[in-house]
Amino acid sequence: MAEPVAVANTPTIVNLLTQLDLDLLGFKGAFSEDQKVNRINKGKNELWKVLKQLKEAYFMEESAVSGGLDNEFPALATTIREYDLPKDLAELRFIEVTGPVGFEEWVFEKKTMNSNSFRAVRISTTAAGSSTDSLASAGTLLYDIIGPNSTGRQRIVLASFPPAALVLKLWYTRTVPDFTVPKTDAETLVTFLQPYIGIILTYAAKSLLRLEDAGIAKEWEKDWREDLRRTVSASSDRSEADPEVVEEFGAGEF
């Protein structure tokens, strides 16, 4: 099945709550607004996890050297080996060197900090200092990712000092922020294509109804799993060739 053709939709939390009340039918008054927002967040997170696992770049983002947004990642400095990653980074997928001229073919290779290769380069460049490229002269920079730190940011740690003020473009899977509780009317849901928003609301309705009526919840759970399975099958390949059907999603506890 091909990727559903639909424009990205950015409904506000008010829009989502209105639709959720319709799905809840006569039970809409049984739950507080905060409960409903929390369940919308949970549904969003469940769908995000499934689509992220498909590695089809639904949540792919690229960093920017400046601008002050969540994707900002400034140029490296030749005297610094640790850097905060973009605020909305969930998983780093690829590091591209875009400057300066002459360094575009340098590559970054991930190694754990306790690996022999990382430790050897780190110790060597610590001893040599930032005035020399030491073991980094081959055109490869070893790195590891740690964190989050006290501000909630993941960090990239280099084994060696950068050979120049490298300008990087980070390609990464981004997070989708939760709606605040209590709600802020202007907040919008971004990133998801329109057909998937219904899956989020179905999750929210089902998980709320489960609190009130086990019989209704059982039917909602069955419907949600089937909707999610269809969504995953539709989104697992962006062409019509060799569609992938993903089983077992949605089988856990809610």
Q: What is the pLDDT of residues 164-220, one digit of tens each?
A: 999 999 999 999 999 999 899 889 988 777 778 888 998 898 889 887 766 665 666
Collapsing DSSP to helix, strand or coil, 143 comes out as strand
pTM: 0.79
| Exposure letters 24-63 (e unless 16+ CB within 10 A, then b) | beebbeebeeeebbbbbbbbbebbbebbbeeeeebbebeb
Q: What pLDDT is recorded for position 52?
A: 84
Please state, in angstroms and rounded to a whole number, the distance separating the CA atoms of residues 226 and 61: 29
Helices (H), the chain: 13-24, 33-53, 116-128, 194-212, 214-235
- Sequence spans of domains, the chain: 13-58+179-235, 60-174
- Which residues lie below 8 Å from residue 229, measured CB to CB, with a gap of 6+? 245, 246, 247, 249, 250
Residue ranges for the chain with pLDDT beneath 70? 1-9, 55-56, 131-138, 213-221, 231-232, 234-254
Q: What pLDDT is recorded for position 235?
A: 53
